[in-house]
Amino acid sequence: MDRRVLFPPAFLGVTLGSFFLTLLFLDTGAPLPALQQPASDRLGTQRLASFAELPSIASQIGLKLATNMHGNIDTLSRIDQRDVMMAGWIADTEGDATPNELLIFVGGSLAARTKTRGERPDVQQRLNLYFGSEKNLTFQVNFACHSGEQPVAVALGQGGRYFGLPAPACP
């Protein structure tokens, strides 16, 4: 028997077998690998007690320091004996209209998270923001914080970029 006659069925068998094996391995129901999870989820599960820990933790979970992000905490005021309100802005000079995220840690644990929304003409003009990057700049968030505790605020942009946003101690 000629070997050339066996080649097409063997080729077809190997191709179909590898296809079905690939499907079997892909359909395991296993959780996504860590780097495929959103940056906010990866950071939100960490213990972050101070800004000094931020570079090390960010590196471990695949975040990169953003050189094109800016921000400011305009207000940190007490609402009641338990909660405070923080407001300010975050801008990504290379971003688009996608909101940036802000995670706030108090005592090492995630205390709050929010996304930017709303415009700030003063910031837009000062940083020369256009093409959508001026659309989502402001944030306001409430969280529990005892007087004198130091919140750690971390802004997250697109592509796994981050920067620490210095915050005053809670009033």
Q: Is residue 170 part of a domain?
A: no
Q: Is residue 20 part of a domain?
A: no
pTM confidence score? 0.77
Q: Where residue 82 sits, what CATH number does that domain have?
A: 2.60.40.10
Quote the domain boundaries for residue 127. Answer: 34-165
If one counts the domains in the chain, the total is: 1
C-alpha span between 120 and 12 (Å, rounded): 62
Closest by Cα among 142, 50, 148, 130 to 102: 142
What whole-number percentage of the chain has pLDDT above 90?
Answer: 69
**Does the pLDDT value for residue 4 go beyond 70?**
no
Q: Is residue 69 part of a domain?
A: yes
Closest by Cα among 155, 154, 152, 156 to 169: 152
Is residue 20 very low, low, confident or very high in pLDDT (cuts 50, 70, 90)?
A: low
